[in-house]
Structure 1
Amino acid sequence: MAAAERSPDGVHAVPPVAAHPLGLDFAAVRRELNLPRDYPTSALAEVEQTVAQPLPTGFRHDATDLPLVTVDPPGAKDLDQAVLLRRRGSGYRVHYAIADVAAFIPPGGALDLEARRRGQTLYLPDGNIPLHPTRLCEDAASLLPDQVRVAVLWTIDLDPDGSPERVDVRRALVRSVARLDYDGVQRSLAHGCAHPSIELLPEIGRLRREQALRRGAIELGLPEQQVESDGEGGWRLALRPRLVVEEWNAEISLLTGMCAAEIMLEAGVGVLRTVPEPDSATVDVLRRSANQLGVHWPVGLSAAEALAELDPARPEALAVHVAATRLLRGAGYTAFDSGAPAKSGHAGIGASYAHVTAPIRRLVDRYCAEICLAVTAGREIPGWVTEALGELPSAMGGSDRVAAQVERACIAQTQAWSLVSRVGEEFPATVLRVPNGVAGEVFVADPPIIARCTGSGLGEGQQVRVRLVTADSERRDVEFEVA
C-alpha cells in the first residue's frame, strides 16, 4: 500500500524489462490513461543543442572540491541530489547539491512546453515515462559520479539540536565522488564503515526525526505495496518496508524544502506543497477508533505522537494507520505572489514546505529553485517563473492524479495476475476498512493483496479467513468473501 504522501525524493525508475511472452505488460495501462509516448523531435533537438554548449562556469561557485555523494535506489540514473555532512563546532553543516535542470531548458522552448505538459516522471514496472528526455535526466543533468555538473548548492548550518541557523543557496559546479544505494549504506552504517561524507547521517537524521515529532508531523508508517519483476519476464507484488537510512536521507531533503518555503514566505512569492491540519473532530474519531481496536491512545497524546508509537506490523495498528490517512486529506499546491498565503502548512511535515530537491523528476522544483536563488541574491525573479506561477498548482495537481492512477492500475493489474489461478482458495487476512458495515477492504499478507471483501460481522483490525471469489485480469478486479 502506498503512503499518502511519498518521500520528498519520490521514487526512481526501474530499468525497462522485455515484454512477457504471454503479454503480461502494462501497455493497456499506458493506453487507457493516454500516457505520453516519445518526446517530440523538436524537444530532443533542443536538448542536443543545449547539451553541446560548454558548461556556464563564469557566474558559478566552484564547489568541485566538496566530496559529495548520491544516495538512491540501486540502478538509479536520474540523480537529483548529492550530499555532504560535516561537523561545525557543536553543530553541523549540510551541503546539498541539486541538479540544475533550468540550465538546460530555454524558457518557452519545445522542451519547456513538453515538460510543463507532463508535470512529473511517471513510473511503471516495465519502464518509466520521464519528465525530461533521458539524454538530460540520466546523463547531462544527472549528478553522476566523477563528472563535473551544474547544480543549485544549498548550504545549511544546523545548531546542536538540528535546527537551521543559516541558509545559503547559489549556483555551483559540483562533482560527486560516489554513487551509493540505500541497501549498501544501511550495511556500511551497521558495520561502522560508512562513507566519510555521510558518517553523520544517523546523527543528523535522528535529530531531524525528533524535530519532526515536536513539530507534530503526521507520518504514516505504512509498508509500501509495489510491483517487481519475478525474474522470468512476469511480475509479482511485494511489501517494501522503508529502511531507516531512507528516512534519515529523506530528512535532509525535507530540511531543504522547509528552508526553501521560509525563503519564499518571507519574500511573499512562491509555490508551497500544502496539506491542511486535520480538525479536532477528525482526530477524535480516529482516537475513538484506535481505542476500540485495543490501541491505547490517551487524550493528551497528539496524533503525531500516537502514530509514531505504533508498530504497523500489528493487525490492529495497521488498521489505525490506514484510518489515519484521513488526517492528510486535501493535499495541494499553493502559489502566491503578493504576500504569504493564509494557509501555508503541511500537516504531514508539521511546517511550511516546498518542492526544490527533485527537478529532474518534478516540474515545480525548477521554478521554486529559481525563486530561492533570486531572493537570496537580491535579484529580480525571472519573468518566465512569475508568469507560470498561477499555472503550476493545476499542472502539478493534474500530474499527481495521473501518477496515482498509474500506481493504482499497475498494482491492481498485478494483483489480478497473481491470483487468477487461485479462485476458491482461502487466505488469512486483516480487515482494514468497513465503510458500510457489510463490505470492506482486507489485507492479505501472502501475496500482499489489498482488495474488497464482502460478508457480515467485519470489524476493522479483525483477523479473518477470506475466500477469493473474483480475480479478473482484464478488469483488474479482485474480490474476497468471508470464508
Structure 2
Amino acid sequence: MPLRPVSLHATRGSVAAQEISQGIDALLEEYRDQVPLAFPAEVLAEAERVAGRAAPRTGSAASADDTARIDRIDRTDVPFVTLDPESSTDLDQAMHLERTDAGYRVLYAIADVPLFVDLDGAIDTEARRRGATVYLPDRRVPLHPEVLSEGVASLLPEQDTPAFVWIFDLDQAGAVQSIDLERATVRSVAKLDYDTVQEQLDAGQGHPMMQLLQEIGDLRQQQEAARGGASLNVPEQEVEGDGDHVLLTWRSPNPIEESNAQISLMTGMAAAQLMLEHGAGILRTMPPAEPQAIERFRRQSQVLGTPWPKDVAYGDFLRSLDWRDPGHLALLNQATSLFRGASYAAFTTAQEVPDDPAQAAIAAPYAHATAPLRRLVDRFVLLVCHAHAAGRTPEPALLQALEAIPEAMRTTAAKAGELERHAIELVETAALRAFVGEEFDASVIERREATPSKESGKGTSNGSPTRVEVQLTDPPVTAWVPMDASPGDVVRVRLDSVDPRHGTARFVPAGDLSASADGDR
C-alpha cells in the first residue's frame, strides 16, 4: 500500500528534525545526478526575466516582452478562491462556483505556466530534466524556480495572476453540459485550507463556495460511480515532532478534499475529450485490470470475509471498504493489483489515438491538466487544449514536443520515486527507534511462501522463510515478519531493532527473542 508522509511537523531545532534534515541532505547528495537540487544559473536568470510577463495584459496592449503577446480576458472581478493544504504556496488551481437555473457553473483557473516557459528555453529544458516537484518529508524540490512557482505564477491571494480558465456548465445531476477554455487574468480573494474548511462545514458553517463545492463534489462522485470509476480509500502518513522524538500518525483525507479532487478529475476528462475530438494531445492512460487479477481479487475478498458480489462494480465495492477493518485493509492493499500500468500516450493525428484511450480507474479518457506548477506534462496539455478550444491547430513546434513528454515523465518519476521511498524509510526508522522492544498488534495484508536455499535446493536455512507483510496501526508502518498467518489476521509482533544508517527496522513475532534479519520493514 503506497503510504507516504505528507508533511513533517517536528519542532525546529529538535533532535528529531535535525536528524531527519541531515539524513535527507545526505540522500539528496547521493541522488544529485538523478534528482537535480539547485537550478543552473541560466535557468534562474531566465526566470527573473520572464517573471515580468505576469503584468496584466488585455486586448492588444503593448508589452515589454514581445514573447508575452497573449490576449487575456480580464476576470479579476470574479472572486476566485483556492483550496490546498495550509502550508502550500505553489497554488495551481483556483475556483469560482455558482448555482444557475439549469444547475451549476464552475470557473476553474489553472496557473498559466506556459506564459513564463518558452518552448526549448532554459526553464523548459530544466523542467524536462526534473519532470515534477519532488515532495520529501521536510522539504520539496520544485519543478520550476520559486520566483515563478511560489511567486508570480502561483494563484496567491490578492495578486493578479495569469491563468487558463476552464468554464463548465453542469446540469442538476452534476453532468457536464458545456466546456470552454480561455486565457485570462484572475484574482484569488481567499486562500482556504482543507482542515479549516472541513471543520467549518462539519459545524454547519463555512464559506458559501465551499458548501457549493461539497454539493457539486457529491454529485460528481455519483457521476463517477455511474460510469464505473474507482479509487482506493486509504489514509496517509503524517509526521509530527514530540520533543526529541518523531511520531508517525494517520491522516485521513477530509471529505472536502475528495470534492476538490472531483473538480480536478472533471477538468482532466474535459481536456481528454477536447484532445481526442481534435486529434492531438497527451492522455494519462491505464489499461483495464487483467481478468486473472480480477478473479484473484474476488477469491481474496471471499477468503477475507467480505465477498465482492458479482452484480457490484469494483469501484462501488472499493468505496464500501473501511481501512480501519483489518480484513478491509488487506483487501485495499491487494486492490493495488487492479491499478497498474499507468502511463502517458502522446498523439498528433487522429490515426495515432490509442485504441483504448480510457484511464481504467477513472473509467473515462483522462489527462493531467490541473497542476502545471508541479508537473511537466500539464503545461503541454493546457497549450494544446487552448488551441483546440479556440479552433486553431496547435503550433508545429508544440506538436513535435509532445512526443518526448511521456518518456520524460516516466524516467523522472522513477528516479524521484526511489528518492521519496528512501526518505520515507529514513523517517519511519527515526520514528520507530523509540519503540525497540515493544509489541504491537498488526493486520496481515499479504503472505509469501518460503523459498528454498539455492545451494541445497531444499530447506529454508539459506533461502527466505515463510513471511507476512503486516500493517501496524500505531505507528502507521508496514513490515515483513518471518511468521505464518493469513491476510486479514491480526497478529502480535515485536520491534527487535532499527538501523538508522540503512533505514531498516526488524520485526519478529511477539515472544521470539532471537532477532532475525528477515524481519525487515
TM-score tier (shorter): over 0.9
Residue 29 of structure 2 corresponds to residue 31 of structure 1: yes
Residue type of the alignment partner of 2:334: A
Q: Please give the secondary structure, in 2, of the residue aligned with 1:173.
A: strand
Q: Please give the secondary structure, in 1, of the residue aligned with 2:478.
A: strand
Contact 1:12 1:73 in 2 (8 A): no
Partner of 1:141: 153
Contact 1:125 1:229 in 2 (8 A): no
Partner of 1:310: 321
Partner of 2:205: 193
Residue 420 of structure 2 corresponds to residue 420 of structure 1: no
Distance 1:450 1:3 in 2: 9
Distance 1:196 1:305 in 2: 30
Per-residue deviation, 1:3: 6.2
Contact 1:83 1:96 in 2 (8 A): yes
1:319 is aligned, of 325, 330, 343, to 330
Partner of 1:257: 268
1:477 is aligned, of 487, 500, 504, to 504
- Stretch deviating more after TM superposition (66-75 or 443-452): 443-452
Partner of 2:90: 78
Residue type of the alignment partner of 1:23: E
Residue type of the alignment partner of 2:496: V
Partner of 1:468: 495
**CA shift in 2, pair 1:271/1:17, >3 Å:** farther
> Where do 1:178-327 residues align within 5 Å?
178-226=190-238, 228-230=239-241, 232=243, 235-327=246-338
Partner of 1:429: 442
Partner of 1:330: 341
Per-residue deviation, 1:331: 0.9
Contact 1:80 1:357 in 2 (8 A): yes
Distance 2:57 2:237 in 1: 43
2:379 is aligned, of 366, 380, 393, to 366
1:450 is aligned, of 455, 464, 478, to 478
Distance 2:241 2:104 in 1: 43
Per-residue deviation, 1:421: 4.5
Q: Please give the secondary structure, in 1, of the residue aligned with 2:120.
A: coil
Contact 2:9 2:240 in 1 (8 A): no
Partner of 2:364: 351
**CA shift in 2, pair 1:18/1:88, >3 Å:** same
Distance 2:368 2:153 in 1: 18
**CA shift in 2, pair 1:133/1:14, >3 Å:** farther
After TM superposition, the score normalised by the length of structure 2 is: 0.87
Deviations 1:179-216 (A, max 9, x none): 10001111222233322333311111011111111221
Contact 1:68 1:197 in 2 (8 A): no
Partner of 1:151: 163
Residue type of the alignment partner of 1:200: L
Distance 2:448 2:104 in 1: 48
Contact 1:236 1:414 in 2 (8 A): no
Distance 1:336 1:3 in 2: 33
Contact 1:143 1:176 in 2 (8 A): yes
Deviations 1:270-316 (A, max 9, x none): 11111111122211110111111111322222211211111111000
Deviations 1:347-395 (A, max 9, x none): 2211111011000000100000000000110112123321211111111
Distance 2:207 2:396 in 1: 42
**CA shift in 2, pair 1:441/1:33, >3 Å:** farther
Q: Please give the secondary structure, in 2, of the residue aligned with 1:276.
A: coil
Sequence identity (%): 42
Partner of 1:110: 122
Deviations 1:128-148 (A, max 9, x none): 100001111011000111111
Per-residue deviation, 1:33: 2.6
> Where do 1:377-392 residues align within 5 Å?
377-392=390-405
Residue 435 of structure 2 corresponds to residue 439 of structure 1: no
> Where do 1:5-24 residues align within 5 Å?
20=15, 23-24=19-20
Distance 2:8 2:170 in 1: 32
Contact 1:16 1:126 in 2 (8 A): no
Distance 2:204 2:225 in 1: 27
Contact 1:121 1:361 in 2 (8 A): yes
Contact 1:17 1:233 in 2 (8 A): no
Residue 438 of structure 2 corresponds to residue 411 of structure 1: no
Per-residue deviation, 1:39: 0.8
Contact 2:10 2:242 in 1 (8 A): no
Residue type of the alignment partner of 2:158: D
Partner of 1:49: 49
Distance 2:425 2:271 in 1: 37
**CA shift in 2, pair 1:303/1:247, >3 Å:** same
Contact 2:11 2:242 in 1 (8 A): no
Residue type of the alignment partner of 2:36: P
> Where do 1:156-175 residues align within 5 Å?
156-175=168-187
Distance 1:24 1:82 in 2: 33
Residue type of the alignment partner of 2:202: A
List gaps (5 residues or longer) in structure 2. Answer: 60-70, 451-465, 511-521
Per-residue deviation, 1:27: 1.5
Per-residue deviation, 1:16: 11
**CA shift in 2, pair 1:250/1:15, >3 Å:** farther
Contact 2:279 2:347 in 1 (8 A): yes
**CA shift in 2, pair 1:367/1:23, >3 Å:** same
- What RMSD over aligned residues (CA atoms) do the two structures have, in Å? 2.2
Deviations 1:254-273 (A, max 9, x none): 00000000000111111111
Per-residue deviation, 1:425: 2.4
Per-residue deviation, 1:95: 0.5
Q: Please give the secondary structure, in 2, of the residue aligned with 1:150.
A: strand
Give the number of aligned pairs. Answer: 476
Distance 1:347 1:442 in 2: 28
Contact 1:131 1:362 in 2 (8 A): yes
Q: Please give the secondary structure, in 2, of the residue aligned with 1:299.
A: coil
Distance 1:317 1:451 in 2: 18
Contact 1:13 1:76 in 2 (8 A): no
Per-residue deviation, 1:114: 0.6
- Stretch deviating more after TM superposition (387-396 or 24-33): 24-33
Distance 2:339 2:49 in 1: 44
